[in-house]
Chain A
Amino acid sequence: MTKVSFVEVTGTTYAVEADSGISAMEAAVRNNVPGIDGDCGGAAACATCHVYVDPAWLAKTGAAGEGMEKDMLEFAEDVRENSRLACQIKLTSELDGLVLRLPEKQH
């Protein structure tokens, strides 16, 4: 199991435990974290699971990948250097304790 915290702009935190191997988007959807829709089911094709990786974790998650992830983030709201699509972050034991911040609104 991998622990992940999703933190809203207001500070409200949703701490979830996820099976290792699934994506952070799936972890959020399975645990009803509001604001992560994941319409496309994890194909980096809708940009409805935009999150900001807490800077302390960025080295471990890496930045957004070339290709679809970056292409789709082009059209998300308020994109920053630590923006990722949660569906492209695979939860491994290395990421146990990961902190992801939610944007004010998903597009």
Chain B
Amino acid sequence: MAVAALAAEGAYALPLDKIDVSNPDLYQNDTIEAYFKRLRAEDPVHYCAESAYGPYWSITKYDDIMHVDTNHQIFSSEASLGGITIDNALSIAEEGGIDLPNFIAMDPPRHDEQRKAVSPIVAPANLAKLEGTIRERVCRVLDGLPVGEAFNWVDRVSIELTTQMLATLMDFPFDERRKLTRWSDVATAAPGSGIVDSWEQRTQELMECAGYFQNLWNERVNAKEPGSDLISMLAHSPATRNMTQTEYLANVLLLIVGGNDTTRNSMTGGVLAFHENPDQLAKLRANPALLDSTIPEIIRWQTPLPHMRRTALSDTELGGKNIRKGDKVVMWYLSGNRDETTIERPDDFIIDRPRPRQHLSFGFGIHRCVGNRLAELQLRILWEEILKRFKRIEVLAEPERVRSNFVRGYTTLPVRIHA
């Protein structure tokens, strides 16, 4: 509570126009919500004139975020305008970054064509096929955990399971799968995140990734019977088979980050949420059918991606403010998911909410997370198997959090399992 009180003091000590919610320190020390709370109450569509990423608008309320997300004709995702992150350098060759034109950072019609090339991997029929594999691996990982001893949940469970899943979807050499984890971290990291020391290092590692995936492409593009993995899909689909190498790398990184950073942190966040709310764990144990509403609540509570960014293509008005053509507009999903006017008791973790799927973590509109059902399936199986095996997962110390305004995640969560 002391931390929350200090955070609130900090958030209210500043003049409103100095509030800059892009500061990655606020995510690392988990004090960001106090700032969002103030913005939602006093200035829900907020202009920040000076930040490390230049001037930008913050959209902090649920309904306003929905408005931006569903008006893609006005609010563009195009990589050449800066893409979908507040930091242009993560999407384009600016200030040390490299160009990464992938389909999440495209507008229709190219977005639609490229997205449709890979979406069958997470279609209902394919998810049904994957379920057995996911369960087998979850069981193996959980059964290998040292009951009664301290260990890092992030590394042993969250990273391991999401990386295995991604390796399977890509038919990536299984023994080398931790390369995927590393590239996922590097793709969303700016210097100062603790992941890379410089832009040059980031570029160099991403080029290694490009080379590695070029080999996989070459292997698969000539296969007589195209495989059903993501790389084969990209290599054979009419919409993507003539991509430039840059576009290919960009889409590979999108799939890696989308399938990795996100679910990984919800897997960790769920453990933390239940540790802090033992009454909710008791409720779930008494009625395991509540998993249906528990999983979306974990995803809301965690909000693994705090924001998505757009660029205004024309002058427009929102919340009484005039947004100009070319302005950077940031939808803070993390804030919308704590919006007290839309979600009752938003700060609380409540596993039996009447409308649990009403959350922004997957975004809405044409860029809505393509893998959302796979993410839910993985989390669901994980919790089904945890409930069968363990009485409780005790968190032994505060987690270490990632220093980033784009990935709300953990590097460590020390735990001890009580069987």
Contacts and interface: CB of A to CB of B under 8 A. Distances in A.
Interface stretch (B164-172, B204-212, B361-369): B361-369
B250 to A, nearest CB: 20
B116 A46 contact: no
Interface string A70-107: 01101101000000000000000000000000001111
B70 interface: yes
B358 interface: yes
B119 A75 contact: yes
Given A39-B357, A104-B124, A72 B366 contact: yes
A87 to B, nearest CB: 12
Contacts of A107: 123-124, 373
A74 B373 contact: no
Contacts of B358: 39, 41
Mostly, the B contact residues are loop
A77 B364 contact: no
Contacts of A1: none
Contact of A105 (B72, B124, B357): B124
Interface residues of A, number: 19
**Chain B residues touching A, range:** 20 to 34
A43 interface: yes
B112 interface: yes
B70 A43 contact: yes
B148 interface: no
A94 to B, nearest CB: 27
B240 to A, nearest CB: 16
Most buried by A among B70, B115, B370, B373: B70
Mostly, the A contact residues are loop
B87 interface: no
B69 interface: yes
Interface string B348-361: 00000001011000
A43 B124 CA distance: 23
A60 B29 CA distance: 56
Given A68-B70, A68-B365, A75-B112, 18 more contacts: A41-B358, A43-B70, A44-B70, A45-B69, A45-B364, A46-B368, A47-B368, A71-B72, A71-B365, A71-B366, A74-B112, A74-B116, A74-B366, A75-B368, A77-B124, A104-B124, A105-B124, A106-B124
Q: Enumerate the 6 nearest inter-chain pairs by beta-carbon distance, A residue then B residue, closest first.
A: A105-B124, A45-B364, A39-B357, A45-B70, A45-B365, A40-B364
Interface of A: 37, 39-41, 43-47, 68, 71-72, 74-75, 77, 104-107
Interface of B: 66, 69-70, 72, 108, 112, 115-116, 119, 123-125, 355, 357-358, 362, 364-366, 368, 370, 373
